[in-house]
Structures are given as C-alpha cells and as structure tokens.
Chain A
C-alpha cells in the first residue's frame, strides 16, 4: 500500500493551465477507472473535484478536468485563479483498499 506518486509542488500564473500527475501501478491507477482528485485549503477538509478519472461533481468549475493514461492519472486546472492555490491529492481504488497520493502544493504566482 505505497502512496501514489505526485510532484511535491507546481506553480503557475493567473490564467495559465497546470497539470498535476499521479503515478501508480497496474494494481491501482492502471487497473481501475476509479481515480479521484481532492482540493484542500489550509485547515479545511478535502473537497472532491474529480471522480471516476474524468467526472466532475456538481458545483465544481469546468476549469478542472481529469484524465488517465496507463498507470498515470492527471488533473488539469485551466485559467488559474488565486483561489485555486491549495494542496491537491489523488486517490485510487486498489481492490481491498484505497490509496492516496502524497499531495501536491499548487502555488498561483
């Protein structure tokens, strides 16, 4: 049950697009189309922004999109806004468990 691999940090300027990757194995990310992404602001509970690889919950901006290729999933945020600055986590179904990524800190310059 090793954590999924995410970059520690990414940054971008307002209006730009950024992509956060989430690397796993064929036993988790690559084996199922059950990858979710969460946004977490300091001292707040996580918020779901993408589920089932590409689906967006009601109320989440269409600036957030997800994809997957092989054992790597990706979250893309387009048209960066100051409020997007937060920590982002991926997670994947892994059979009899769920695995989270180590998290990525997004800085909006």
Chain B
C-alpha cells in the first residue's frame, strides 16, 4: 500500500525556519517525481515545488523561490522541504504528493500544518 506521511510542521515565529519531511512507503520511491502543495486555512490548493526522481532537477513557485528548498534522500525514502524566512502568508497545511507524468498526483499525504505567528 502506498503511504506518504508528512511531519515537521508546527508553530514558528516570522523569519524562522522549519524542515518538513515526507516518509514514503509501498512503492519504489526513487522512480517517482515528488511535489509539495500547500493549502492556507479555508483557501485553495497552491503548488509549491517539485523534484525529479534522482533529485538533480527542482522547480519552485515564484512565491517561494529563494526561501524554500526541496530535496530527497532516496536511500531513506524521504522527501524534504526546507522553509526559511517564514512569513505569515506561509501558514498552511503542506502536502507531499507522488506524481506520475506531468500532473497525475495519484497519492497524497495527510498534510502537516505550519503556522507562522509571533
């Protein structure tokens, strides 16, 4: 059974940092592109970032470029999102998702909540 389990969220002050993790199981993690998508409370889904299967190619939404870094450890079957210089508008549930092809987000984690507040 495919499972994606996010962790690392929490309450952080503006300007702070967090590292989110997404532990994958039930599939060959190293064969898939992985994405992060976030959802502010009561708002819609927003794409954040993606990484290719070997970790050498990454892309980011304009709103997070330069502050967020996506990475992966295929030996540990884990996806990461390092988020720095946090702002109030980064408050959201962050989901990791497995993607087949361009936009076939076929499996999603349950999400981890990041709250940026003083």
Contact = CB atoms under 8 A, between A and B. Distances in A.
| A and B from one complex | yes
Contacts of A57: 106
Contact of A48 (B44, B46, B105): B105
Contact of B47 (A87, A97, A102, A103): A97
Interface string A1-26: 10100000000000000000000000
A96 interface: yes
Contact of A102 (B44, B102, B106): B44
What DSSP secondary structure best describes chain A's contact surface? strand
Interface in A67-98: 87, 89, 91-93, 96-98
Contacts of A87: 44
Contact of B35 (A45, A98, A101): A98
Nearest to A100: B45
A99 B62 CA distance: 11
A97 B103 contact: no
A64 interface: no
Interface in B89-118: 95, 101-106, 108-111
18 contacts: A1-B61, A1-B62, A3-B46, A34-B102, A36-B103, A38-B45, A46-B95, A48-B104, A51-B104, A52-B101, A87-B44, A89-B44, A93-B102, A97-B47, A97-B59, A99-B47, A100-B37, A103-B45
